[in-house]
Amino acid sequence: MNNDSNNILKFSRLRAIIVGFVTLLSGVGIYFLIRSHLGDIGQTLLAIPIEVIGAVVILQILTMVGRSEVWRLCIGACNGKMPATPVYAANAFTQLANSMNQYLGSIVRIIVLRKLEPERSPKVGQLFVTNLPAYIVEAFVASILLAISSATLGLAWWIPVVAISAVLVISGLLYHIRHRFKHRPSALGLNALTSLPHLTKIVAITSVVLVLQVLRIWLVLMAVGLNPSLFAAVAVLIGIGILSALPIGPSTGPAATLAVFGSASVATAAAAGIAIAATTLIGILVFALWALGVVIQRFLSSRFKQTKAQPHPVRRPLVWLLDKVS
């Protein structure tokens, strides 16, 4: 292993240690913030109807399926059509990795997809950028939701304007990069931004995914007794999106609900955040179990084909008898 590889490995380990330490600190901070309300939080969580929990988990799974389809469209714009099953399975493991460390998600996604579809999947450099169009579209739709709910949330008028403008500027920059470096293979990962049919589908599916996310959060907030508006659920969703960029792990849910509803009731807001985080994790585990079944089935099928393809020597009876005698 050369010096560059050693340096990369050391940097990756150092970053993982730092992220793990910050995640632990954030969890400890949330605990000390709510420790005097643990009894009320437990009672609130136990009062959530089981059918609400089931509905929220199902909505979480549907949002992950939608995000997986968006990624498949981004890959399709780059390298032709990809079958849904390996893309969905790779994205399921990505979600599981992101729940522990968001810096692992992209690496896990690429490794799993290239293992499942080594011939049809794009190159590694292309896969690293295929999700950028999806992020841009999601950021744009989220900024529109922010603009719609800004009056209810009491935000200054310029905040959604700045958010929308920033998304448009980044979109234009990526569009320019796609055309400026079109001879580079990695630039093909941005093809979804230049293909109107793919971009239209991505916008439509992303909009549905965000609506399902808002509905999921709203159901949890209603179940714990906060009686929120849909705009308040949008605020929690945007808060989770912003905080997920920080290395605080599962604390994003409680942190977002405490930021929006903490002034009304710390215990209820914390219970809502914990319920959001827990149902998210349950949905991720269910999706990941299905993906594990896909990987096992692919592995067993591959081994069976290899065994079947191996030629079995045909030995004549006389030769076999002479071998035994000798």
**148 — pLDDT class (breaks 50, 70, 90):** confident
Q: What distance in Å separates the CA atoms of residue 11 and residue 22, rounded to the nearest whole number?
A: 16
More reliable by pLDDT, 80 or 123: 123
R_g of the chain, CA atoms, integer Å: 24
Q: What distance in Å separates the CA atoms of residue 72 and residue 75, rounded to the nearest whole number?
A: 5
Q: What distance in Å separates the CA atoms of residue 6 and residue 152, rounded to the nearest whole number?
A: 52
Residue 226 has pLDDT above 70, yes or no: yes
Residue type, 189: G
Domain-embedded: residue 319: no
Quote the domain boundaries for residue 285.
3-310
Q: What distance in Å separates the CA atoms of residue 250 and residue 253, rounded to the nearest whole number?
A: 7
Q: Kindly state the percentage of the chain with pLDDT values over 90.
A: 29
Residue 324 has pLDDT above 50, yes or no: no
Which phi and psi (to 5°) does residue 153 adopt? -85, -5
What is the model's pLDDT at position 110? 86
Domain-embedded: residue 326: no
Residue 216 has pLDDT above 90, yes or no: yes
Is 54:165 a contact under the CB 8 Å cutoff? Answer: no
- Mean pLDDT computed over 266-283: 90
Residue 105 has pLDDT above 70, yes or no: yes
Residue 173 has pLDDT above 60, yes or no: yes
**321 — pLDDT class (breaks 50, 70, 90):** very low
Phi-psi region of 294 (alpha: psi -120 to 50; beta: other; left: phi over 0): alpha
Start-end of H helices in the chain = 3-34, 38-46, 50-79, 84-100, 105-116, 124-130, 132-153, 158-180, 196-223, 230-243, 252-261, 266-309, 317-325
What is the model's pLDDT at position 320? 43
Residue type, 202: I
Domain-embedded: residue 82: yes
Residue type, 220: V
**217 — pLDDT class (breaks 50, 70, 90):** very high
**76 — pLDDT class (breaks 50, 70, 90):** confident
- Mean pLDDT computed over 41-59: 92
The structural domain count of the chain equals 1
Cβ neighbour number for residue 260 with a 10 Å cutoff: 22
Residue 175 has pLDDT above 70, yes or no: yes
What is the model's pLDDT at position 5? 42
Q: Among 30-39, 47-56, 61-70, 215-224, which stretch is predicted with the lowest mean pLDDT?
A: 30-39
What is the model's pLDDT at position 93? 93
Q: Is 83 helix (H, G, I), strand (E, B) or coil?
A: coil
Q: Kindly state the percentage of the chain with pLDDT values over 70.
A: 78
Which phi and psi (to 5°) does residue 131 adopt? -85, -10
Given CA atoms 34, 37, 41, 42 in this order, what sign does their dihedral have? Answer: positive
Dihedral (C-alpha) 182, 184, 185, 191: value to the nearest 10 degrees? Answer: -20
More reliable by pLDDT, 98 or 15: 98
**44 — pLDDT class (breaks 50, 70, 90):** confident
Q: What distance in Å separates the CA atoms of residue 322 and residue 326, rounded to the nearest whole number?
A: 6
Residue 41 has pLDDT above 70, yes or no: yes
Is 147:160 a contact under the CB 8 Å cutoff? Answer: yes
Is 77:129 a contact under the CB 8 Å cutoff? Answer: no
Residue type, 250: P
pTM of the model: 0.81
Helix 84-100 with 50-79: angle, nearest 10 deg: 120
Domain-embedded: residue 74: yes
What is the model's pLDDT at position 49? 94
Domain-embedded: residue 134: yes
Q: Is 188 helix (H, G, I), strand (E, B) or coil?
A: helix
Residue 91 has pLDDT above 90, yes or no: yes
Domain-embedded: residue 323: no
Q: Among 18-32, 49-63, 203-217, 291-305, which stretch is predicted with the lowest mean pLDDT?
A: 18-32
Domain-embedded: residue 317: no
